[in-house]
Chain A
Amino acid sequence: MSAPLLQAQGLTRRYRLPRQSFFQSPPVLTAVDNATFSINAGETLGIVGESGSGKSTLARLVMAFETPDEGQVLFRGQCPHTVSNRELRTMRQQFQMVFQDPYGSLDPRRKIGWSIAEPLRATGADGDPTKQVDEALEQVGLHYSDAAKYPHEFSGGQRQRIAIARAIVTRPALLVADEAVSALDVSVQAQVLNLMMDLQDELGLGILFISHNLAVVASICDHLLVMQRGKTVESGAAADILRAPSNPYTQSLLNAAGVAL
């Protein structure tokens, strides 16, 4: 096995909270505390935890939307937090993100072809954008003629496919999916999960998959990282953790997920 696609070492991000009292220094919240993990090409790392556990902050650090206070992210050996803005712009072609809300993440006044081509424009990609957009649409199971439609003409599941098309249009090596299937109905959720697995097998994508739904995580992830209030409480092979969680917090998450059904 070659070097991992993405390596994160000791990632820490702190936020200063509003001052409680004039004479005290403001409290500090450690949103992500010393997170270390790696993702290989073609594999999925699941990040699990309740709201407020730091999952999304972790995604924002990986996406270089935020800079860590400590630690570093190495993407194919290069750190997106230390390169110049110009280099980062090009580098962003390599990692793209799918957000939770398919209604909020597409501009309602733009045709979806425009929205899907946005990462190409933003990262200064070469080539014919129309052709790349058509290709991306086809890969997510939509028709190229859909590029001329507006978001309101699509269902929630189709919109999430569009969001995925936008994320893969630059041919990234890493996809960060932050609760990407949480807002979808059960049958649509299954379709979108299958699509992500298909794309992963086809394109060799590494996926950072954030979810609070452990059953969903079980069906797609190879590795797992369980977070609680910013700290990594457990990490390892998904199968091992889900079968025999060693940490009480992971156990409580599993119980709450109701393994009943």
Chain B
Amino acid sequence: MIELANLTASFDGAAALRDATLSVAPGDRLGVVGESGSGKTLFALCLMGMAPDAANLSGSIHVDGQDMSVASESDWQAIRARRVAMVFQEPMAALNPLRRVGVTVAEPLMVHEGISRQAALARALALFKEVGINEPEARLRQFPHQLSGGQRQRVLIALALACNPALLIADEPTTALDASVALRITDLLVRLAKERQMALIFISHDLATVARATNEIMVMYGGDIVERGPTTDVLETPIHPYTKGLLAALPKWLIAQRDAEGKRSRLATIPGSVPPLPELPQGCRFAGRCQNELANCATERPALQQKSVGRSAACHLLDRDAS
């Protein structure tokens, strides 16, 4: 349905996204994991044809077989909402505060499907029911500030679903929410993806949430896809040193115990921090922070290679172990 091949986005010669290759089919639930600056959001924006103007793009994007690298803005507009829709992180910022939420949700229906305002509002009501908004009739007439964070995120999901997209991209949809509300929103997205046979790309830095929502996972670091595979496999037996480091750094419910001297155990960390974009190594992006670095890591870029069925990683250690 959507195919990316070697999609690269660079700013002033510094690549913020390198050779992203991916295909998404209906029903796929793909998690994209990575820390700030890993290129997750840029990746999502590219899928929507909304990469910043300053970005220099190469590679190709095909949506339903149509080559979008030569597409105009109006071609993209035809695809957005109807084929690909997005849910953003901050529901308050994504909703117009001066508009009743019902009108906000009805708008894409009026624009894209040319139906009347009344028919669009009726559809909005059905969407509100589908995404589990309580008292949906009353909510249609309310403003964003009258809703709770979870309700607002549900409105945004209804808005994204309005034109029956084949792919829903959720960019950190639960980050701004309380844990129990986040859980319900995550489950809602999974339910909707299954019921509608819709593909879901779930972007988050929270591994636990991604584990719950997706069946496949893609780990990004410094604009590269460093590891891919089925979610449970990647989280249980990570291959790439970055994925390993990330999982080790999670607080593990090890309840703070003090030893005889009153010291608690420390959390595992990845040394250093992500360098700014122009200073990222040209080879493996993780070079310089990796515990198992080889001589060629900083200069020679490892290709994303298949390790076993459905699992791949980009790391020179795989070549060394294979030879």
Q: B71-79, B152-160, B265-273: which lies at the A interface?
A: B265-273
Report how far A186 CA is from B248 CA in the complex, Å: 10
Contact A156 B183 (CB under 8 A): no
Assess A186 versus B255: contact at CB under 8 Å? Given A201-B263, A257-B179.
Answer: no
Q: Counting CB contacts under 8 A, is A260 at the interface?
A: yes
Which residues of the partner chain B approach A215 to less than 8 Å between Cβ atoms? 250-253
Interface string of B208-234 (1 = CB under 8 A from A): 110110000000000000000000000
Assess A218 versus B249: contact at CB under 8 Å? Given A197-B264, A197-B266.
Answer: no
Contact B256 A219 (CB under 8 A): yes
Q: A60-68, A88-96, A237-245: which lies at the B interface?
A: A237-245
Q: Counting CB contacts under 8 A, is B308 at the interface?
A: no
Q: Counting CB contacts under 8 A, is B35 at the interface?
A: yes
Contact A188 B264 (CB under 8 A): no
Whole-angstrom distance between the Cβ of A209 and the nearest chain B Cβ: 11
Q: Counting CB contacts under 8 A, is B180 at the interface?
A: yes
Contact A156 B36 (CB under 8 A): yes
Q: Counting CB contacts under 8 A, is A56 at the interface?
A: no
Interface residues of A in 228-261 (CB under 8 A from B): 238-239, 242-243, 252-253, 256-261
Contact B255 A260 (CB under 8 A): no
Chain A, interface SS category: helix
Contact B35 A186 (CB under 8 A): yes
Report how far A6 CA is from B118 CA in the complex, Å: 61
Contact B250 A261 (CB under 8 A): yes
Report how far A201 CA is from B257 CA in the complex, Å: 14
Q: Counting CB contacts under 8 A, is A51 at the interface?
A: yes
Whole-angstrom distance between the Cβ of A184 and the nearest chain B Cβ: 9
Contact B255 A157 (CB under 8 A): no
Interface string of B98-122 (1 = CB under 8 A from A): 0000000000000000000000000
Contact A256 B180 (CB under 8 A): yes
Q: Counting CB contacts under 8 A, is B178 at the interface?
A: yes
Contact B251 A258 (CB under 8 A): no
Q: Counting CB contacts under 8 A, is A172 at the interface?
A: no
Contact A194 B253 (CB under 8 A): no
Q: Counting CB contacts under 8 A, is B274 at the interface?
A: yes
Interface string of A196-219 (1 = CB under 8 A from B): 011001000000000011111011
Assess A239 versus B255: contact at CB under 8 Å? Given A186-B35, A260-B208, A261-B235.
Answer: yes
Q: Counting CB contacts under 8 A, is A122 at the interface?
A: no
Which residues of the partner chain A approach B207 to less than 8 Å between Cβ atoms? 186, 261
Whole-angstrom distance between the Cβ of B54 and the nearest chain A Cβ: 18
Contact A191 B253 (CB under 8 A): no
Report how far A239 CA is from B209 CA in the complex, Å: 25
Contact A187 B245 (CB under 8 A): yes
Most buried by B among A190, A238, A239, A259: A190
Whole-angstrom distance between the Cβ of B211 and the nearest chain A Cβ: 6
Nearest chain A residue, comparing its CB with the CB of B263: A201
Q: Counting CB contacts under 8 A, is B298 at the interface?
A: no
Q: Counting CB contacts under 8 A, is A79 at the interface?
A: no
Interface string of B264-288 (1 = CB under 8 A from A): 1011111001100000000000000
Q: Counting CB contacts under 8 A, is B262 at the interface?
A: yes
Most buried by A among B182, B207, B262, B266: B266
Q: Which of B245, B255, B262 contacts A42 (CB 8 A)?
A: B262
Nearest chain B residue, comparing its CB with the CB of A240: B255
Whole-angstrom distance between the Cβ of A109 and the nearest chain B Cβ: 21
Whole-angstrom distance between the Cβ of B17 and the nearest chain A Cβ: 18
Assess A256 versus B183: contact at CB under 8 Å? Given A186-B250, A187-B249, A212-B178.
Answer: yes
Contact B273 A194 (CB under 8 A): no
Interface string of A179-192 (1 = CB under 8 A from B): 00000011111110
Which residues of the partner chain A approach B250 to less than 8 Å between Cβ atoms? 186, 190, 215, 261
Q: Which of A198, A218, A253 contacts B256 (CB 8 A)?
A: A218
Contact A219 B254 (CB under 8 A): yes
Report how far A156 CA is from B255 CA in the complex, Å: 27
Q: Counting CB contacts under 8 A, is B68 at the interface?
A: no
Q: Counting CB contacts under 8 A, is A34 at the interface?
A: no
Q: Which 4 A-B pairs have the closest CB atoms?
A: A256-B180, A185-B35, A190-B267, A190-B249
User: 7 more A-B contacts (CB under 8 A) besides A50-B179, A221-B256?
Assistant: A156-B36, A212-B179, A219-B255, A242-B253, A258-B208, A261-B211, A261-B235
Q: Which residues of B contact A (CB under 8 A)?
A: 35-36, 149, 178-180, 182-183, 205, 207-209, 211-212, 235, 245-246, 249-258, 262-264, 266-270, 273-274
7 CB contacts below 8 A, A to B, read A156-B36, A186-B250, A190-B270, A219-B254, A239-B257, A257-B208, A261-B211
